[in-house]
Amino acid sequence: MSVAVLDERVLVLNRCYSAIRIIPARHAFTLLCRRAAEVISIDDGVWANYDLKTWTDVADLQREYDPHGYRWIHTPSLEIAVPTIVRLLTYDRVPDREIRLNRRNLFARDESRCQYCGKRFSLKDLSIDHVVPRVQGGTHSWTNLVCACISCNTRKGGRTPWEAGLKLITPPRKPKRNPTVKVSIGNRRYRDWSAFLNEAYWTVELQDE
């Protein structure tokens, strides 16, 4: 069984069809085996709900009519398509719609690029800088925090960029959508997600587990 296939991402909906997180396929199959979730499949705009047994039963039709639309898990006794969406059967809660201000989301927003020199760095070589230093009244907020490499951060010190002769590549802003969730909806396997990931859903912090 391919590890890559088991790491395929699956969108999770709550019982009310709201997107709440992204999980690996192995976790999705665990939920299906426990009967805690069902598969949601969308074909030409028509939704269908499947339990694990029914999803397994339709594998022959999927292989015949849409063999390249899925990733496949092969075992000695069966072949089964990896679903792209599962729905929890008893979970009603929705995630906090506020995007959390944390290092992971800041690195994702700035795409691991120093906002002073514009170069990309590994996470260990990046720091978080207060544009206006705290000692000068700067806030710990989306609009005052940026990624900075060690060299630029050292050069800037406890000064503003203007005082240090530096210029911001991009003015820091609070992202409108979760910066850590970057899935190409154009990818055929994920295009069904667009039915649930409208602008409202993208503002939710989907946990990519």
Do 83 and 116 fall within a single domain? no
Residue 111 lies inside a defined structural domain of this protein: yes
Structure-model confidence comparison of residues 137 and 99, the more confident one: 137
Q: Is residue 127 part of a domain?
A: yes
Same-domain check for residues 188 and 114: no
Looking at the structure of the chain, the number of domains it has is 2
Q: Higher confidence at residue 64 or residue 47?
A: 47
Residue 95's pLDDT band, with cuts at 50, 70 and 90, is: low
Residue 173 within a domain: no
pLDDT, tens digit (0-9, with 9 covering 90-100), for 59-71? 888 877 777 778 8
CATH number of the domain residue 121 falls in: 1.10.30.50
Overall average pLDDT of the 34-50 stretch: 89
Strand partners, 9: 24
Domain that holds residue 15: 3-96+179-208
Residue 50 in any domain: the answer is: yes
Do the domain assignments include residue 170?
Answer: no
Q: What's residue 63's pLDDT?
A: 79
- Residues 110-158 pLDDT 10s: 999 999 999 999 988 999 999 999 999 999 999 999 999 999 999 999 9
Closest listed residue to residue 28, CA positions, set 114, 87, 70, 97: 87
pLDDT given for residue 77 in this prediction: 79
Please check whether residues 107 and 152 belong to one and the same domain: yes
User: Does 91 share its domain with 107?
Assistant: no
Three-state secondary structure along 28-68?
A: HHHHHHCCCEEEEEEECCEEEEECHHHHHHCHHHHHHHCCC
**Is 171 part of a structural domain of the chain?**
no
Same domain, 116 and 91: no
Q: How many residues does the chain have?
A: 209
The secondary structure of the chain as a DSSP string is --HHHHT-EEEEE-TTS-EEEEEEHHHHHHHHHTTSEEEEEEETTEEEEE-HHHHHHTHHHHHHH-TTSS-EEE-SS-EEEPPSEEEESS------SSPP-SHHHHHHHTTTB-TTT--B--GGGEEEEESS-GGGT--SSGGGEEEEEHHHHHHHTTS-HHHHT---SS-----SS-TT----TTSGGGGGGGGT-SHHHHTS--EE-
Question: Is 89 in the same domain as 137?
Answer: no
* Least confident among 57-61, 171-175, 183-187: 183-187
Q: How confident is the model at residue 200 (pLDDT cuts 50, 70, 90)?
A: very low
